[in-house]
Amino acid sequence: MTDYSPEDVVIHQEFGEGTIRCINSKIIEIEFAEETKQLHFEVLIQANLIEHKNSR
């Protein structure tokens, strides 16, 4: 799908900076400053809600 991997630092449009903890074809778990969230990976990609931190 994309080149996201565990330990990558990403920016989420709503939650800010976080670190990917685990990922599969459907769910991505990202640790943000306040909490860890499990999000639907395909939705994040299709809606452009996350990007690698260094791509800004």
Please compute Rg for the chain using Cα positions. 10
The 10s digit of each residue's pLDDT in 14-28 is 999 999 999 998 999
**pTM, rounded to two decimals:** 0.89
| pLDDT at 2 exceeding the cut of 70 | no
Comparing C-alpha atoms, which of 46, 45, 53 is closest to residue 28?
Answer: 45
Q: Where do the H-state alpha helices sit in the chain?
A: 41-46
Angle, CA of 11, 5 and 38, to the nearest 5°: 60
The 10s digit of each residue's pLDDT in 36-45 is 999 999 999 9
